[in-house]
Structure 1
Amino acid sequence: MLDGAARRHLDPILNRLGAALAKRGLSADAVTVAGLCLGFAAAALIALHYYLAGAALILLSRLCDGLDGAVARASRKTDFGGFLDIVLDFVFYGAIPLAFIVADPAANGLTGGLLLFAFYVNGSSFLAFAAIAEKRALSTEIRGAKSIYFTTGLAEATETIAFFLAACLFPHWFPVLAALFAVLCLYTALSRIVLARLTFRDQP
């Protein structure tokens, strides 16, 4: 929901940084992998109860996630790069809730598991919609130029990062925050199913 507003403010900065990195020969795929490594480091710190340090690395990881597209636009976009970006994003989104579960299984296990379930449902609705949209040659740039068809919803990247940061700042509130965000993710998936019913009603 907030991704559009965030992109309008951040894209000019990211594009300048991405162009500078591309000129120095850094590849978009390398930035994508670096973002995942930072995400794994954040997850490890959270699992060890270093929540504020984990929050800092989450921000750096997501900076890389924004920069990889900017580097690709300044150099060369590839289908593999788009594939890698999506897959590693989902890896990161699963690693952080898992880290909170590891940090306190008794307190966070149930709602952490619910959140991972909601991420799974939301992610599958997103990717399935994108696959059918590609089959029908549909396109959108509502979230900028992307490798696959992007649908919007209540729970997007900006909201997810905000949730992760809030959980790091207030780790004892993780069960409540996770349950609320799981509801948002499931609502987003349901709204995408409704959209698919309307969009894909007739055969192309």
Structure 2
Amino acid sequence: MIDRAMRAALARPLDRAAAALDRPGITPDRLTVAGLVLALGAAGAAAAQWWAVAVALWLVSRIADGLDGTLARRRRARGRGGESEAGGFLDITADFIAYGTGVFGVAWGASAAYDAPWWPFLLVLVAYYVNGTAFLAFSSIAERTGRRIDDGRSLSFLGRIAEGTETIAVHALWLILPFWAWQIALVWAVFVGVSAVQRVVAGYRLLR
């Protein structure tokens, strides 16, 4: 819901950070992998109930995830972006792994520490699955039929009430408040579920 505004607000700081990182040994793909490793570390820390470590690793991993695309666009603008398509594929795959394992990690940790039920987290994963199916299918068909939504990202995203910014915030919130994690997950599952329905309807209408 607020991705567009957040991307605009962070564009300049991310550009400055990408400029500082624009060195031969640092590539967008390596930043993507670093972000994924950090996100997996966050999930493991959450499962071990190291909540402060988990939230720190999670937020740093998302910074790396924002920087990989910024660095790729910077290099592409200067004629050095030969890996952009492969990088976009790697980025979205890493995001799915990061979000899925993040849900699993907090569910495990909150269950062990606070006797939290698993089913709200399973609802979140189902909602993620439907959302991912909708926007990946739409992106593939839109590309093939010339109806691509170009907002600078590798895929055509159907923005709705639950987008990347909200997802990052919620994943951080239940690490900060793990004793309320399952309640947060339940509310989040509703929001993501509504977004899933919106994306399915919007994608169908746009492709008709």
Q: State the TM-score, normalized to the length of structure 1.
A: 0.93
Aligned partners of 1:118 and 1:186 also within 8 Å: yes
- What is aligned with 1:127? 136
For residues 113 and 197 of structure 1, the distance between their equivalents in structure 2, rounded to whole angstroms, comes to: 26
One-letter code of the match for 1:78? Answer: S
For residues 126 and 197 of structure 1, the distance between their equivalents in structure 2, rounded to whole angstroms, comes to: 11
For residues 176 and 132 of structure 2, the distance between their equivalents in structure 1, rounded to whole angstroms, comes to: 26
For residues 140 and 104 of structure 1, the distance between their equivalents in structure 2, rounded to whole angstroms, comes to: 39
Gaps spanning 5+ residues in structure 2: where? 76-80
1:200 to 184, 202, 207: 207
Cα offset for 1:40?
Answer: 0.7
- What is aligned with 1:87? 93
Aligned partners of 2:106 and 2:175 also within 8 Å: no
1:153 to 160, 167, 172: 160
One-letter code of the match for 2:59? Answer: L
For residue 155 of structure 2, give the secondary structure of its aligned residue in structure 1. Answer: coil
Q: Is residue 168 of structure 1 aligned with residue 171 of structure 2?
A: no
Aligned partners of 1:55 and 1:165 also within 8 Å: yes
What's the RMSD between the two structures over aligned residues?
Answer: 1.3
For residues 89 and 17 of structure 1, the distance between their equivalents in structure 2, rounded to whole angstroms, comes to: 21
Aligned partners of 1:108 and 1:174 also within 8 Å: no
Aligned partners of 1:98 and 1:112 also within 8 Å: yes
For residues 192 and 134 of structure 2, the distance between their equivalents in structure 1, rounded to whole angstroms, comes to: 11
- What is aligned with 1:137? 146
Mapping 1:44-123, distance limit 5 Å: 44-75=44-75, 76=81, 77-105=83-111, 106-123=115-132
For residue 153 of structure 1, give the secondary structure of its aligned residue in structure 2. Answer: coil
For residues 175 and 3 of structure 1, the distance between their equivalents in structure 2, rounded to whole angstroms, comes to: 25
One-letter code of the match for 1:85? Answer: D
Aligned partners of 2:43 and 2:105 also within 8 Å: yes
Q: Deviations over 1:91-121 (max 9, x none)?
A: 0000111002221445141111111111111
Cα offset for 1:24?
Answer: 4.3
For residues 101 and 148 of structure 1, the distance between their equivalents in structure 2, rounded to whole angstroms, comes to: 30
For residue 23 of structure 1, give the secondary structure of its aligned residue in structure 2. Answer: coil
Q: Deviations over 1:144-194 (max 9, x none)?
A: 311111110111111011111110111111111101111111111111111
Q: State the TM-score, normalized to the length of structure 2.
A: 0.91
One-letter code of the match for 2:96? Answer: F
For residues 101 and 125 of structure 1, the distance between their equivalents in structure 2, rounded to whole angstroms, comes to: 25
Aligned partners of 1:100 and 1:108 also within 8 Å: no
Mapping 1:4-15, distance limit 5 Å: 4-15=4-15
Aligned partners of 1:19 and 1:71 also within 8 Å: yes
For residues 107 and 181 of structure 2, the distance between their equivalents in structure 1, rounded to whole angstroms, comes to: 10
Aligned partners of 2:134 and 2:203 also within 8 Å: no
